[in-house]
Amino acid sequence: MASRTTKRMFIMLGLVVLLIALLALGKFLQIRKLIASIPKPQPQVVSVVKASKQEWQPQLNAVGTLVAVRGVDLASEIAGLVREVRFQSGQDVKAGQVLVVMNADAEIAQQRSLQAAVDLAGVVLARDKAQLQAKAVSQAQVDADEADLRAKQANLAQQQALVAKKTIRAPFAGRVGITTVNPGQYLNSGDKIVTLQTLDPVRVDFNLPQRQLGGIQKGQRVVLSDEAFAGAVFEGKVTAVSPKVDPTTRNLQIEATVPNPKRVLLPGMFAKVDVDTGARQPYLTLPQTAITYNPYGSTVFVVEGTDKLTVKQVFVTTGGTRGDQVAITSGVTEGQQVVTSGQLKLKNGTEIVINNKIQPANDANPTPQEK
């Protein structure tokens, strides 16, 4: 009886095990079917460029301010009434050209009076010198006459200078600005009349960090560009280097002179300044879009394989930049294909498909696309 009960228990246990096995097999087949139904990762579409060497002109870059070689705001040294304005706003004038004439009638009359006094003193001196020969006057009288003449001549010279100040002349050649001064207007001492700027050549003042001091010296070529003249460049030379570094910013002030024959560059404008340093050198160059900048370093994705293309992320060391391009000093060799767009979809070993119909900007001297 006991053996029959034991046998039945083993049969039931076997049936339970078999049932569990069948359920596990069904679940396994279901999971395998689900895994098989998951779509396989498709190759990612990217654009690539072949790393190549290009000749670069090493440069120091800064933003500068244009300054006139000579520029001044003309003002009257003395007060008076404006009689004539002999220039037009925006006119080019020559050195010494009369710009404004002020009323000087009273001063001229006083000058004539002083001139008459000088003439009389000269006559008296000449007469006393003749009488001195005849012993009719003493030497002291002649000396007094000479002193009196010199004093009157000094008074006359002072008055002549006062009259001259009533005529405002251009101290140097240049272009005058816009004036609001009109005939009949009363000017106080120091009132601004008009600005006068020499526009050819112009200076550009800019600053460079002290670490770049070794790469700057007088005579170096300077290239200016300004957003007001897209695509145009203006060449000049470094003419002065400050003998002192600013202790606050640790920057060094540089001055360059740029020819401006068309007078299109105006004082007060800002411009991008590129200073050539040394001879042209070959650099391995990539578009800046190819570089992924991270806190732990800069990386690029290089293409591997022939039939099945995959990517590998590598660290690179970057150098200077030029427009849309960046120099690579290590990490990539010439001829390697580097991904330039689509990096966000990639990781090591990702399969790719190359489509170079649209390439990121890779211009050494980019210009605005919109006019």
Q: What is residue 371's predicted lDDT score, i.e. its pLDDT?
A: 43
Residues 6+ apart with CB under 8 A from 290: 49, 300, 338, 339, 340, 360
CA dist 38 and 292 (Å) reads: 31
Q: In this structure, what token pair is assigned to residue 325?
A: 């391009």
For the sheet with 167-169, list strands across it: 167-169, 98-102, 80-85, 186-187
Q: What is residue 278's predicted lDDT score, i.e. its pLDDT?
A: 72
Q: Are 289 and 249 in contact (CB under 8 A)?
A: no
CA dist 104 and 271 (Å) reads: 46
Q: In this structure, what token pair is assigned to residue 110?
A: 């006083």
Strands (E), 140-280: 167-169, 174-176, 186-187, 192-197, 202-209, 221-225, 233-245, 251-258, 270-276
pLDDT tens readout for residues 250-286: 888 889 999 988 888 888 888 888 888 777 788 888 8
Q: What angle do CA 301, 305, 310 make, to 5 degrees?
A: 45
Name the nearest CA neighbour of 283 among 93, 111, 72, 58: 58
Q: What is residue 141's predicted lDDT score, i.e. its pLDDT?
A: 85
Q: In this structure, what token pair is assigned to residue 138?
A: 């003493």
CATH 2.40.30.170 segments of the chain: 60-69+201-276
Q: How many CB atoms lie within 10 A of CB 120?
A: 13
Residue with tokens 């046998």: 7
CA dist 245 and 252 (Å) reads: 5
Q: Are 201 and 257 in contact (CB under 8 A)?
A: yes
CA dist 222 and 265 (Å) reads: 15
ω before 171 within 30° of 0 (cis)?
no
Architecture of domain 45-56+281-354: Beta Barrel (2.40)
CA dist 2 and 9 (Å) reads: 11
Amino acid identity of 300? V
* φ, ψ (nearest 5 deg) of residue 342: 95, 15
pLDDT tens readout for residues 340-352: 888 888 888 888 8
Half-sphere exposure in the Cβ direction for 128 (13 Å, CA): 18
In CATH terms, is domain 79-196 a member of 2.40.50.100?
Answer: yes
DSSP string, 41-57: PPPEEEEEEE-EEEEE-
CA dist 274 and 280 (Å) reads: 14
DSSP 76: -
Which of the residues in the chain have pLDDT under 70?
1-4, 36-41, 363-371
CATH 2.40.50.100 segments of the chain: 79-196
Name the CATH superfamily housing domain 60-69+201-276. Efflux pump adaptor protein, beta barrel domain (2.40.30.170)
Q: In this structure, what token pair is assigned to residue 68?
A: 């006139």
Q: Which helix (H) or strand (E) holds 139?
A: helix 139-164
Which pairing describes strands 192-197 and 71-75: parallel, antiparallel, or unpaired?
Answer: antiparallel
DSSP 96: T
> What radius of gyration, in Å, describes the C-alpha atoms of the chain?
44
Q: Are 350 and 44 in contact (CB under 8 A)?
A: yes
